Chains A and B, each alone.
Chain A
Amino acid sequence: MSDIKREPPTEYILLRHHEIANIDRLDIYRKHGGFDAFQQTVTNMQPDEVTTEVKISGLRGRGGAGFPTGLKWSFVDQHNWPHYVVANADESEPGTFKDREIMEMNPLQFLEGVAICAYAIQAKTAYVYLRGEFWDIAESLDRHISELEAAGLLGENLFGTLYSLRIITHLGAGAYICGEETALLESMEGKLGQPRMRPPFPPSYGLYGKPTVVNNVETLTNLPSIITHGGEWYSKIGTEKSTGNKVFSLSGHVERPGNYELPLGTTFRELIFEQGGGIPNGRGIKAIMPAGASSSLIVATEEALDTPMDYESVPNLGAELGSASVIVVDDSVSIPWLINKTIHFFKHESCGKCTPCREGNYWMVHLTERIDSGQASAEDVELLRDVAEQIKGKCLCALGEFSIEAVLSGIERFPADFNQTVAD
């Protein structure tokens, strides 16, 4: 995908197509150890040994929540069968485009990861839920799955054991909310993609009411190398609590936007200036959104730029790492304009189930439009803050909760931008 030449800071774990040409071909993938890890798990490991190895690795969910993956698997109810795996390939957060590159360029490693997860929780069916726009990717995954079945790497009685596995793709139809795991399950069941009340969580009550693990594409793609090299090896990459490599999606005002695989704990400065080539047109950097449109706005101070991008350090800046979708904003941008953009997105994508999110985002669009066009009064900014505060803590899922992050942090951290746009 990316045509940027650079020295990788460490061995690629995920974007291995940068090192191995045609890794999406089964013969090439096999030549580089592909499906050895899955064969090893099925023939030489007990399911709970796989889970233990993943716990040792310290791998945390890459979809945004950062929840420990092995721990999630260990919650699967062993008294209710069958179990399901659902790979979350509904990537739709503005600023996020990493799962698409993984599935397009290194699809077999992703499918091997799905298979390893399925064995660990003894699921015989795994679904890949792709956003509707990934139509071509779904077709290509279908072809890879058929090829794997023909090669005896998926299907009945794998490697001469009693274990069987089917992987099935399912296309969504354009709804950001379906990236939320319980909304995704509702959508898979043929219903409106609206989040469920939790608990119960999917490992006890998931797809069709059965125990289900929902994991993000990037999370799953890490698994083959964790099995091959061991959880201990993986845990030494990155920082103590945020282990491993992460694909950072870099977008906005940078010379070289794109996906960069770097160890967790790499600084914003290295990603934006060394990898991404800095800010174009001689402009200065004003703000950073580290978790896409769902993110709080970070003031791009020297201290912020030197902050490591990991799950523990980013909160010190009053934001979250989330899916590590780093949107860079230069000093030509007005923050009220930016907030109007993000709220416009959340208003469109609100599923309508919770009143604070559905109505709140509707009114915040009106208010931010007025502020951005310079027709607002000082009370309008206060009203905007008030509406945002009333959404906080009152929604069933993260969409509503995250819709206010840019609003509240923008008003608080960039007050001058609001003073300028407010009419006297």
Chain B
Amino acid sequence: MMNASEGANEYVKSLTPLASKYAAEIEAILAKYPPEERRSAVMPLLHLAQRERMYVDRETMGEIGEILGISSTEVASIVGFYTLYYDKPGGKYHVQVCTDLPCALRGADKFLQELCERLGISPGETTEDGLVTVEEVMCLAACDKAPMFQVHSGQGLSYHETQTVENALKLIDELRTMAKRGPGHYESAE
């Protein structure tokens, strides 16, 4: 285990595959926190790890644990606790519809139900092509513009507000086209 922050760079580079691929990003993340409090970097490192495959496997959890000097079990507990981390592969894009009270008062439950019916799946399931998972999520701080959802891919999160089912289906078609076109954009899980 490395203690000195200046040693972290060499150490990080010796690791694979996350650390070798994102050495500069990892260094920048670690620089945000006091050297003796490196554990704080666990959440940004998990966001980084999800960038390509939208989930974190046990091997990567172990690697993050090594960078931070904590066990892979502790990293796994963080993955389990926070809803934006996944430990299993799902769709490349997660379409996450808020159905909390203020959104529900403006038709979010009906919106989710119809969207799923049109896609031929139930909430929580992934479309046959493996690209789109539709999920019901908790409040996204956009209560005045319901129905709304966010699209979560490893690359980022985008809000889509004041939606209709037709709009949403159009966007999902665009996401599918993008995913199939992008070189190396959609890698198989293993």
Contacts and interface: CB of A to CB of B under 8 A. Distances in A.
B44 A97 contact: no
Nearest to B100: A94
Nearest to B96: A133
Contact of A259 (B40, B42, B70, B144): B144
Contacts of B150: 133
A190 B67 CA distance: 13
B141 interface: yes
Interface string A167-211: 010111111100000000001111111000000000000001000
Interface residues of B, number: 41
B105 interface: yes
Contacts of A293: 100-101, 139
A12 interface: no
B160 interface: no
Contacts, number: 136
Interface string B81-104: 111110000000000000011101
Contact of B141 (A133, A189, A289, A345): A133
B158 A92 contact: no
Contacts of B13: none
A190 B43 contact: yes
Contact of B140 (A133, A173, A345, A348): A133
Contacts of B116: none
Interface residues on chain A, size class: 35 or more
B81 to A, nearest CB: 5
Interface string A17-59: 0000000000000000000000000000000000000000000
A338 interface: yes
Interface in A119-167: 131-136
Given A91-B141, A94-B143, A136-B156, A341 B83 contact: no
Contacts of A289: 101
A100 B77 contact: no
B18 interface: no
Interface in A319-338: 325, 327, 329, 333, 338
A135 B81 contact: no
A96 interface: yes
A336 B144 CA distance: 23
A190 B144 contact: no
B139 A92 contact: yes
Contact of B102 (A92, A327, A333): A327
Nearest to B143: A251
Contact of A176 (B41, B106, B139, B157): B139
A193 B141 contact: no
A136 B43 CA distance: 16
Given A135-B157, A208-B37, A293-B100, A249 B144 contact: yes
Given A173-B83, A175-B82, A327-B102, A168 B144 contact: no
A251 B102 contact: yes
Interface in B128-155: 137-146, 150
Given A92-B138, A96-B143, A170 B100 contact: no
Interface in B34-66: 34, 37, 39-44, 46-47
B165 interface: no
A95 B143 contact: yes
A342 B99 CA distance: 11
Contact of A172 (B43, B143, B146): B43
Nearest to A176: B138
Nearest to B29: A170
Contacts of B144: 97, 249-251, 257-259
A258 B70 CA distance: 44
A252 interface: yes
A221 to B, nearest CB: 16
A77 interface: no
A193 B81 CA distance: 8
Contacts of A258: 144
B40 A333 contact: no
14 contacts: A92-B141, A133-B157, A134-B141, A136-B158, A175-B83, A190-B70, A250-B144, A251-B144, A252-B106, A258-B144, A293-B100, A327-B143, A345-B101, A349-B138
Interface of B: 32, 34, 37, 39-44, 46-47, 68, 70, 77-78, 81-85, 100-102, 104-106, 137-146, 150, 156-159
Given A136-B159, A187-B43, A193-B82, 10 more contacts: A97-B141, A97-B144, A135-B157, A170-B40, A174-B84, A192-B78, A327-B101, A327-B143, A329-B105, A342-B101
In the A-B complex, the 9 residue pairs with the smallest Cβ-Cβ separation, listed nearest first, are: A173-B82, A190-B39, A257-B144, A174-B83, A251-B143, A251-B102, A174-B84, A173-B84, A190-B42
